[in-house]
Structure 1
C-alpha cells in the first residue's frame, strides 16, 4: 500500500499503484509486442510533442521542483522522443522494458520496485533535507535537499518524485515480485495514470505469468 501524505497532496501529487508476484522472463514473446509498439509509436510530430497537454503538465511540475525539463526531460517524454528519433526503445530487462513501453505510450512516469528489497510500506512526502539517496547508475550517496518530493520506505529514499529511482530497491534479473507506481501531477488525468498502471499489470500478467497481489489503486 502506497500512501501520499498531506504535504505531498498539497502539491497535487497522486499515484496509481499495484503489486504483482511470480514474474517470469517474458522474452522472447514480449519482443514481438515491443516491435509492434515501436512501429506504431515511432511516427508522429517530434517537434510538437512539447505541446501535448500531458507533457506540458509534467514539464510544469519539473519547473516547480527546480528541474529544467528542456535539459532533463520527464521519463515518458524522453522515451517517446527516443522512439520517434531512433525508431526503437532500449532493451534492459523484461520488467523494466514493460514499464518503458507503457511510459512511452501514455507519457506517464512509471517506477517499478523489487518488493523483496523493502519492508515498510512506501510513503510519498516532501523532504526535510539530509535524507540519503543512492540513485541508479550512481556510486555515491547523495543528500536530498529540503522541499523535494520523495518516496520513503522507513527512512530509505526509494524515489525522488517523479524522476529518479534508488539502486537499493531497483529491479534486477532475479526480481519476481514488484510494486508498480505511476506518477500523477496537477493537470494529468487520474484516469490516464490508472490506465498506465493497469497496462503494466496486464503486460506482466500476459507475458510474465505474474500473479496480481494488489490490483490497481489510487493514492
Structure 2
C-alpha cells in the first residue's frame, strides 16, 4: 500500500506524519490512560483560554489554511481547536475507546489534527492519496449523514474512491476505529509552516501509548510530503 500527496497540491506544501500500528487490543480498561487524559485536560485549563486560543501560533496557522481553502474556521473548527474548546467549556475530552482517546490526547497536547483509520475496514487497496475533492463527491462523516463536497476541499481517499478524511478536520464513518480495531493507520495532518518535528512528536506519542497501553506494535512510520511517499505491506 502506498500513501502519497497528489502533485496538484504542491502549492499548499502539505505534509503528513504517517504511522501503522498492528496487534492493538482496543478493549482494555487502562487507569493510566485516564490519568493521562486528566493531566492533559488540566494543562489546557491552566495554560489556555477561549479568548486567547485564536492567537495561538499553531491554531492560527490552521485557521489561516482554512481561509485559504475558502472555509470559515469559526464555523468549521480545525479538529484540535474543537477538542481544546470543548475542554475550556468544561466538557472535557470525549471518551470513545482507548485508541481514539489516545489520538485526542496527542491532538490536544501538540495542537495538530490526528486521524485514525481501521486498516481492516480499508481493506486491500493499491494506494491512499491526499487530493482535491470533486464537486458533488460524497463523504460520510463520523456521526453524520452523507454530505456533498466541493473542489475547494481536500480529501484522503483510496484508489477505489472511498474518502477516509476531509483534510484536516473530519474522519469517515466508513473506516472509524471501534473496540474491535486491531490494526490502525495514523495520520497527523501538517500544513505549511508547521514543523515536521511537531507532527512526529504527536505521532510518536500515539505509537508509544499504543505499545505500552494497548499491546500494539509499530509496523512502520514516516513523513509524507510532495517529494516523499510511504509504502508498506500488511496482511488483512
Instruction: Map 1:58-69 to 2 at 5 A.
Output: 58-69=62-73
Q: CA deviation at 1:72?
A: 2.0
Q: Is 1:112 the counterpart of 2:116 in the alignment?
A: yes
Partners of 2:54 and 2:152 in 1: how far apart? 27
Could you tell me whether the CA contact under 8 Å between 2:142 and 2:171 is conserved in 1?
yes
Aligned counterpart in structure 1 of residue 180 of structure 2, from 156, 163, 174: 174
Q: CA deviation at 1:87?
A: 6.5
Q: Is 1:142 the counterpart of 2:147 in the alignment?
A: yes
Q: Is 1:54 the counterpart of 2:29 in the alignment?
A: no
Q: Secondary structure at the match of 2:144?
A: coil
* Partner in structure 2 of residue 77 of structure 1: 81
* Partner in structure 1 of residue 158 of structure 2: 153
Which deviations, in whole Å up to 9, do the C-alpha atoms of 1:1-33 show, x marking residues without a partner? Answer: 421111123222111110001111342231122
Q: Secondary structure at the match of 2:25?
A: coil
Q: Is 1:202 the counterpart of 2:208 in the alignment?
A: yes
Structure 1 pair 188/212, CA: closer, same or farther in 2 (3 Å)?
A: same
Partners of 1:145 and 1:87 in 2: how far apart? 32
Which deviations, in whole Å up to 9, do the C-alpha atoms of 1:41-66 show, x marking residues without a partner? Answer: 32123111211110110000111222
Could you tell me whether the CA contact under 8 Å between 1:42 and 1:85 is conserved in 2?
no
Which deviations, in whole Å up to 9, do the C-alpha atoms of 1:83-121 show, x marking residues without a partner? Answer: 233172111111111111110111100000000111322
Q: List runs of 5+ in structure 1 lacking aligned partners.
A: none
For structure 1, which segment, 49-58 or 76-85, has the greater mean C-alpha deviation from structure 2 after superposition? 76-85
Which deviations, in whole Å up to 9, do the C-alpha atoms of 1:115-149 show, x marking residues without a partner? Answer: 0111322100112323221111123x333212321
Could you tell me whether the CA contact under 8 Å between 2:16 and 2:190 is conserved in 1?
yes
* Partner in structure 2 of residue 129 of structure 1: 135
RMSD between aligned residues: 1.6
Could you tell me whether the CA contact under 8 Å between 1:17 and 1:197 is conserved in 2?
yes
What is the TM-score when the length of structure 2 is the normalising length?
Answer: 0.86
Aligned counterpart in structure 1 of residue 42 of structure 2, from 33, 39, 56: 39
Number of residue pairs matched? 218
Q: CA deviation at 1:199?
A: 1.2
Could you tell me whether the CA contact under 8 Å between 1:110 and 1:183 is conserved in 2?
yes
Partners of 1:49 and 1:124 in 2: how far apart? 28
Partners of 2:92 and 2:152 in 1: how far apart? 36
What is the TM-score when the length of structure 1 is the normalising length?
Answer: 0.93
Partners of 1:68 and 1:128 in 2: how far apart? 19
